[in-house]
Amino acid sequence: MGVSRLDVFYRRLLLTRLFIGGWGKPEDLKRIFEFRKVIADREKCNSLVPKDYPVYISKTEELSDCHIHDGVFLSPLEQLVPGILPQEAVKARFQFIVPKKWQQNKPVCIHLAGTGDHHFWRRRTLMARPMIKEAGMASLLLENPYYGYRKPRDQLRSCLKNVSDLFVMGGALILESTVLLHWLDREGYGPLGMTGISMGGYMASLAVTNWPKPIPLVPCLSWSTASSVFTMGVLSKAVNWTELEKQYAINSVYEEEIINLLEYCGADSFKMGADLVKSSCSEQPLVPDGVRSRGPVLQSAPRKQTGAGPSLHRESISFMKGVMDECTHMANFSVPVDTSLIIVLQAKEDAYVPRTGVLSLPEIWPGCEVRYLNGGHISAYLFKQNVFRQAIYDAFSRFCVKYPDLLQS
């Protein structure tokens, strides 16, 4: 299956660059990787967030068919890894959109934001309001760190400044989703589920790995790891490789210390070959040949050069894959309690989220369902929102049939 020409064309229209600040501070990466080992373990992670963690409703608006509650709470990540979040992102914000009349039970789906989805309007208009009309289902929209009200002052639009920002975002959203699930549970809502589109799908998937109960999950247009997105997909063209290569060459701590903290070495850990590096300089999205290694990422990597060149570029791409797999690969986290409640929506010609050469979600989560859509990433986002919503309804229905004793009375 090829890649969508619309995906490639759309990416070329965007001139913004990702990670203009580089990898992030080495000490921050070290703290993130150590904390990842904790939140990747469901039992350890659940002890981090009390069930009575305080959540506050600051404002309520009444519309014709629903109430919209604006809420806030302190991100647990600020307490657990102090100073890792930018100051603007410490306070988590959300909108809770509740139907005036419930049809059956009090179902709530938490929606995490995809790339560029600032504030709440997009998710509220395209997903939450239609879900009230179609299924009487409430939605809770959480604002991602680094987005909307939580965006650092020195960040340009949606372009995360450092690679480490993505991992901080993920860690925060895992914990914040746990806070909200506990809050909804004690407030008497249920069944509870999670969804997200693109990056939001990744983040929702990570969050669900840490919930100790069966829970519906519908990740749309995401897959098993973010490493392929930034090393092989069309977004790899937007990465500021010049700055990343320079920092990797100058600061030996990345090669000599941080690499040793990378634990993931599954079946899709592989060393980047010259043919992949060559293709990364072309105009087409990278499609690896699937060369694989069972050894640790980056082992026996050639000594890097202090100047620019193929070797340095190869090492930088390989280092990117290593750190991305460490913090985002689903195989590095607990398997959700009941994978039969997971319905994955994937575009067949997705140029943003390559599936070649990486473990599939069914391999990591046996029992989950994958529904493939014709077309690419952009066309699916623009024209398949109704398909995403139907998958959510289907996943919730499975929960109700399978776990009637867990439904709120």
What's the pLDDT tens digit per position in 249-258? 999 898 888 8
pLDDT range class, residue 242, cuts 50, 70, 90: very high
- Beta strands 56-62 and 108-112 are unpaired
- DSSP single-letter state for residue 22: B
Mean pLDDT of the chain: 86
| 126/200 Cα distance (integer angstroms) | 14
Residues whose CB falls within 8 Å of the CB of residue 249, separated by 6 or more in sequence, listed in order = 304, 305, 306, 307, 312
- CATH number of the CATH domain containing 226: 3.40.50.1820
Residues 392 and 218: beta-carbon distance below 8 Å: yes
SS3 state at 17: coil
Residue 384's alpha-carbon distances to 5, 11, 134, 280, in angstroms, are 18, 19, 15, 30
What's the pTM?
0.88
| 290/20 Cα distance (integer angstroms) | 29
Check residue 408 and give its pLDDT: 60
- Asked whether residue 284 is assigned to any structural domain, the reply reads no
Both tokens assigned to 217? 């999950």
Is pLDDT of 20 > 60? yes
- DSSP single-letter state for residue 302: P
Residues whose CB falls within 8 Å of the CB of residue 10, separated by 6 or more in sequence, listed in order = 378
Is pLDDT of 132 > 80? yes
| 382: number of Cβ within 10 Å | 11
Rounded to 10°, the helix 199-208/163-186 angle is: 60
Residues 321 and 293: beta-carbon distance below 8 Å: no
- Asked whether residue 308 is assigned to any structural domain, the reply reads no
Is pLDDT of 294 > 90? no
Residue 31's alpha-carbon distances to 37, 236, 264, in angstroms, are 10, 26, 17
Opening angle at CA 125, ends 58 and 131, nearest 5: 90
| 201/193 Cα distance (integer angstroms) | 12
Residues whose CB falls within 8 Å of the CB of residue 341, separated by 6 or more in sequence, listed in order = 193, 214, 215, 216, 217, 395, 398, 399, 402
How many structural domains are present in the chain? 1
- Asked whether residue 296 is assigned to any structural domain, the reply reads no
State pLDDT tens for residues 330-356: 999 999 999 999 999 999 989 889 888
- DSSP single-letter state for residue 73: E
Q: Which of 379, 309, 377, 328 is nearest to 115 (CA)?
A: 377
pLDDT range class, residue 10, cuts 50, 70, 90: low
Which domain covers residue 132, as residue numbers? 5-268+313-406
Check residue 117 and give its pLDDT: 73
Check residue 278 and give its pLDDT: 40
Q: What percent of the chain has pLDDT over 90?
A: 64
Half-sphere exposure of 278 (CA within 13 A, CB side): 4
- Asked whether residue 251 is assigned to any structural domain, the reply reads yes
- DSSP single-letter state for residue 296: P
Q: Which of 145, 114, 160 is nearest to 22 (CA)?
A: 160
- Asked whether residue 281 is assigned to any structural domain, the reply reads no
- Asked whether residue 392 is assigned to any structural domain, the reply reads yes
Residues 284 and 232: beta-carbon distance below 8 Å: no
State pLDDT tens for residues 156-175: 777 889 999 999 999 999 99
Is pLDDT of 272 > 70? no
Q: What percent of the chain has pLDDT over 70?
A: 87
Check residue 14 and give its pLDDT: 59
Is pLDDT of 281 > 80? no
Residues 341 and 391: beta-carbon distance below 8 Å: no
Residue type, 378: I
- Asked whether residue 282 is assigned to any structural domain, the reply reads no
Check residue 287 and give its pLDDT: 36
Of the candidate ranges 112-116, 373-377, 391-395, the one whose mean pLDDT is the lowest: 112-116
